[in-house]
Amino acid sequence: MTAPVTGAASLDAKPLLAAEDIDVVLGRGWRANQVLSHVNLKIWPGEIVGLVGETGSGKTTLARTVVGLVRPKQGRIVFDGTEISGLRGGARRRDRRSGHVQLVFQDPLRSLDPDLTVAEIVGEGLKIRGGIGRAEIERRATRALQQVGLDAALLSRAPGQISGGQRQRVAIARALATDPRLLLCDEPVSALDASNRNYILRLLGELRDSLGLPIVIISHDLSSLAGIADRVVVLYRGRIVEDGPVGQVFAEPRHPYTALLMASAPSVTHDRPLSAHQLRRTPDDPAPPSTANACVFAARCPFAIGACAEQPALEAIGTARNVRTAGTVEAAGPQTARWTAACHRHGEWPALARERSAVAAPRQPAKLTRNQEGFSSCPSSSSA
Partner 1 sequence: MSGNPPPDEVLGIEDLHITVHDGAVTAVRGISLSVSTGEIVGLVGESGSGKTLACRAALGVLPAGCAIESGTISFGGKDVTDLSRRGWERLHGTGVGAVFQDPSSYLNPNLTVGSQLAEVLRVKQGMPRREAHRKTVELFTTVGLHNPERVFHQIPAELSGGMLQRVMIAIAISCGPQLLIADEATTALDVTIQAEIIELLKDLRDQRGLAVLFVSHDLALIRELCDRVVVFYAGEAVETGPVEEIIERPSHPYTQALLGVASVGDFQRRELRVIPGQPPQVGADITGCRFAARCPAAIDACRSAPVGLMRLAPGHQARCVRAADPELAAAAAETALAAR
Q: State which residue, 287 or 366, has the beta carbon closest to partner 1.
A: 366
Contact flag: residue 198 with partner 1 (CB under 8 A): yes
* Smallest gap from residue 357 Cβ to partner 1 (A): 14
Give the phi and the psi of residue 299 in degrees, each rounded to 5.
-65, -20
Among 12, 28, 90, 194, binds partner 1 (CB under 8 A): 194
Among 29, 131, 133, 365, binds partner 1 (CB under 8 A): 365
**Cβ proximity of 222 and 250 under 8 Å:** yes
What residues numbered 214-233 form the site for partner 1, per CB under 8 A? 220-224, 226-228
Q: How many CB atoms lie within 10 A of CB 311?
A: 18
**Cβ proximity of 118 and 170 under 8 Å:** yes
Give the phi and the psi of residue 341 in degrees, each rounded to 5.
-140, 145
How big is the chain by its Cα radius of gyration, in Å? 22
DSSP state of 251: H
* Smallest gap from residue 236 Cβ to partner 1 (A): 11
Q: State which residue, 127 or 370, has the beta carbon closest to partner 1.
A: 370
* Smallest gap from residue 202 Cβ to partner 1 (A): 5
Count of positions on this chain that bind partner 1 (CB under 8 A):
58
One-letter amino acid for residue 108 of the chain? P
* Smallest gap from residue 333 Cβ to partner 1 (A): 23
Contact flag: residue 246 with partner 1 (CB under 8 A): yes
C-alpha pair distances (Å), 147 with each of 102, 134, 144, 169, 277:
16, 20, 5, 9, 44
Q: Parallel, antiparallel, or unpaired for β 182-186 and 101-104?
A: parallel
**Cβ proximity of 235 and 19 under 8 Å:** no
Letters for 6-35 (x = contact with partner 1 by CB under 8 A, - = none) are ------------------------------
Closest by CA position to 18, among listed 106, 83, 89 = 83
What residues numbered 47-66 form the site for partner 1, per CB under 8 A? 54-56
Output the CA torsion sign for 70, 75, 81, 87.
positive
Closest by CA position to 346, among listed 285, 295, 299 = 295
One-letter amino acid for residue 211 of the chain? L
* Smallest gap from residue 169 Cβ to partner 1 (A): 13
Contact flag: residue 197 with partner 1 (CB under 8 A): yes
Contact flag: residue 376 with partner 1 (CB under 8 A): yes
Contact flag: residue 301 with partner 1 (CB under 8 A): no
Among 2, 81, 293, 334, binds partner 1 (CB under 8 A): 2
Q: Which residues bind partner 1 (CB under 8 A)?
A: 1-2, 54-56, 163-164, 193-199, 201-202, 205, 220-224, 226-228, 246-247, 250-251, 260-272, 276, 325-326, 360, 365-374, 376-377
